[in-house]
Amino acid sequence: MKEFWQKFGKSLLLPISTIAVAGIFMGLAAALQNSAIVGETFANLVAVQNFIGFIRKLAGLVFGNLPLFFCLSIAVGLAKDEKPTAAFSAVLGFLVFHLTLNYILGLNGITADVTSVQALMDQGMSEIEATIVNAKYETVLGFFTLRMNVFGGILVGLCVTYMHNRFYQIQLPSAINFFGGKRFIPLITMIFIPVLAVAAYFIWPFFDSMIGLIGQGIDKIGVFGAFIYGSVNRLLIPTGLHHILNQVVRFTPVGGTAVINGNTVMGALNIFNEAIASPTPVPNEVFQLGARYVGQGHTLISIFGLPASCLAMYHMADDKNKARVKALLSAGVVACVLTGITEPLEFSFMFVSPILFLFHAIMTGLGYLAAALLGCSVGGVQAGLIDFTIFGILRGAESKWYVVVVLGICVAAAYYFGFKFLIKKFNINTPGRHEDMDIEEQNVNTAANNIELAQNIIAYLGGKENITNITNCFTRLRVTVVDQTLVDDQKLKTTGASGVTHPSETSVQVIYGLKVEGIARDVKAVYYSK
């Protein structure tokens, strides 16, 4: 199950990375259409503003079709083979799912017209009651359907993938074997998915109510929920399962619910992006709700906290090793500050000292809590300097980006002095401290080219015979192996990895940072070569 959830989380990364880019475009477009930022003259340039408006529409296309993108990404990510067939069947299944729901709703007299807020108020409901009922439905690709958000896409993606992996090699009787193998998947999809939709029609309202109750519970504890999220998010980093938690708060009522331009929006990231995209002014309280679980809390550790921890580890290293420690950490610091990718730095100490990692997790939670308490509203997905500039500074003073900077300075000081104290107090062997790095450096990445490096990585993973699957996420090479005892963690670190983790009996994750994409490509090329 752990391995499944890791693969599942990894399969969500493609749409999430697309969200990050689309969010940046939307944030820039919103800033360039704000006369308070760019001035009245620029804001009144019709041709320029029409082009910027088109950019906002493009970004809106991404956010408006997230359920489909999640469905497609899960099918591609989890399919064992014949991935194009899985992708085609996933799109087909998604359309069939919502067509079926649309048909059932129509049979019961439930349409967009009769569930509009005004129509419900005309029937005697209060505006709040009408809004709650209206929020249960939405229009997806032209189909009026149940509002399942990304859950609908995830559900269809998982079911289609299960059928694909089970039947894509099926052999039918010779007379109809033309429809066997991969051609069988679209057929079984059109048969099974309507059944799934009927079940969802009756089951989803209970599931939706449960999610709503969880969201209400978190809402009652207020900003303290941000502390819990921030701390747990970091504690899940070693397993790679933090991606699952991220999606829950970003796209479900657990991350908050808000009404924007008459529409009910659920999930922290959905709320923030809907507020950014709104053509009419949105109260800053809505931005604050949307930013509570995205952006500002992570910004405090990626721009301020972790770089300060690296400075502390550098100062605590032995003098003879400081130059090498600086070289080891500097690339990770740059990536962390600019893009918000923290894992290469976190893996430099999380397995060396659980004490340092626990300190880091608590500080992350406190950062989220403090930013929420002080009313900051700096959003963003990756939450590095790029996002901070676009979703904080360019939004103006109402985002309270300057408060985040002040908090960040305090967080940096806490990380620097906290790490120094803990390292000294518990005599922790952080990089370059009480170790001979001269020997290690002689063995680091001596491969003459990328192919040789890939060959070394495969060898240190126990050879081709020990490997059954190779994938990657933003920062990790994820490998499924037969025998963990054949994996040499120390030698893998000499290939440029900042850490190695073993989340399950058959799973190995090698942390390379942002360069992992190229490394994974080369490793796959060598692995699949004869």
- The alpha carbon of residue 523 and the mean position of all alpha carbons in its chain are separated, in whole angstroms, by 25
Distances (CA, A) of 159 to 165, 198, 240, 468: 10, 14, 23, 23
In the structure encoding, which two tokens stand for residue 100, read together? 């079926």
Q: 243-289 pLDDT, tens per residue?
A: 777 877 887 778 888 888 878 888 888 899 888 888 788 898 999 99
How far apart, in whole angstroms, are the C-alpha atoms of residue 196 and residue 134?
Answer: 23
> Does 489 or 8 have the greater pLDDT score?
489
| Cβ contact 216:120 at 8 Å | no
For β-strands 499-501 and 476-481, DSSP reports them as unpaired
Of the listed ranges 23-37, 75-89, 224-238, 433-447, the one predicted with least confidence = 433-447
> Does 422 or 349 have the greater pLDDT score?
422
Average pLDDT estimate for 418-444: 72
| Cβ contact 348:499 at 8 Å | yes
Rg (CA), the chain: 25
Q: Whole-model pTM?
A: 0.68
Checking if the pLDDT of 12 tops 80, the result is no
How far apart, in whole angstroms, are the C-alpha atoms of residue 408 and residue 389?
Answer: 14
Q: What local confidence, expressed as pLDDT, does residue 144 receive? A: 93
Q: What local confidence, expressed as pLDDT, does residue 314 receive? A: 92
Checking if the pLDDT of 103 tops 50, the result is yes
Q: What local confidence, expressed as pLDDT, does residue 442 receive? A: 38
Average pLDDT estimate for 203-222: 76
How far apart, in whole angstroms, are the C-alpha atoms of residue 51 and residue 39?
Answer: 17
In the structure encoding, which two tokens stand for residue 520, read together? 């994974």
Model confidence band, residue 368 (pLDDT cutoffs 50, 70, 90): very high
Q: What local confidence, expressed as pLDDT, does residue 37 receive? A: 66
Beta strands in 245-340 (DSSP E): 257-260, 263-266
By the 10 Å C-beta count (0-12 exposed, 13-18 middle, 19+ buried), 358 is classed as: middle
User: Where do the CATH 3.30.1360.60 domains begin and end in the chain?
Assistant: 444-528
**Which residues neighbour 351 within 8 Å (Cβ) at sequence distance 6 or greater?**
238, 499, 501
Checking if the pLDDT of 406 tops 90, the result is yes
> Does 42 or 301 have the greater pLDDT score?
301
Model confidence band, residue 91 (pLDDT cutoffs 50, 70, 90): very high
Q: What local confidence, expressed as pLDDT, does residue 236 receive? A: 82
Q: 438-471 pLDDT, tens per residue?
A: 434 434 444 557 888 999 999 999 999 999 888 8
How far apart, in whole angstroms, are the C-alpha atoms of residue 313 and residue 423?
Answer: 8
Percent of the chain past pLDDT 90, that is, above it, reads 32
Average pLDDT estimate for 179-195: 90
Average pLDDT estimate for 504-526: 86
Q: What local confidence, expressed as pLDDT, does residue 299 receive? A: 94
Compute how many other C-beta atoms are within 10 angstroms of the C-beta atom of residue 283: 12
Q: Three-class SS of residue 429?
A: coil
How far apart, in whole angstroms, are the C-alpha atoms of residue 105 and residue 119?
Answer: 17
Q: What local confidence, expressed as pLDDT, does residue 407 receive? A: 96
Q: In what order do the strands lie in the sheet with 467-472?
A: 467-472, 476-481, 507-511, 499-501
In the structure encoding, which two tokens stand for residue 232, read together? 């747990």
**Which residue type is seen at 288?**
Q
Checking if the pLDDT of 130 tops 60, the result is yes
Checking if the pLDDT of 437 tops 50, the result is no
In the structure encoding, which two tokens stand for residue 514, read together? 């942002």
Return left, alpha or beta for 278; rule: phi > 0 is left, psi -120 to 50 is alpha, else beta. beta
| DSSP state for residue 514 in the 8-state scheme | G
Model confidence band, residue 435 (pLDDT cutoffs 50, 70, 90): low
Q: 299-357 pLDDT, tens per residue?
A: 999 999 999 999 999 999 888 888 888 887 887 788 788 878 887 788 778 767 889 99
Domain 444-528 is found in CATH 3.30.1360.60: yes
> Does 142 or 437 have the greater pLDDT score?
142
- Measured in degrees and rounded to the nearest 5, phi and psi for residue 247 equal -70, -30
Q: What local confidence, expressed as pLDDT, does residue 88 receive? A: 94
Average pLDDT estimate for 196-221: 80
Average pLDDT estimate for 369-392: 89
How far apart, in whole angstroms, are the C-alpha atoms of residue 76 and residue 197?
Answer: 21
| Cβ contact 376:369 at 8 Å | no
Q: What local confidence, expressed as pLDDT, does residue 441 receive? A: 42
- What does the mean pLDDT of the chain come to? 85
Residue whose entry in the numeric block shows the structure tokens 């699952």: 244
> What ranges in 340-425 are assigned the alpha helix state H?
343-346, 354-373, 385-391, 401-425
In the structure encoding, which two tokens stand for residue 247, read together? 């999606």
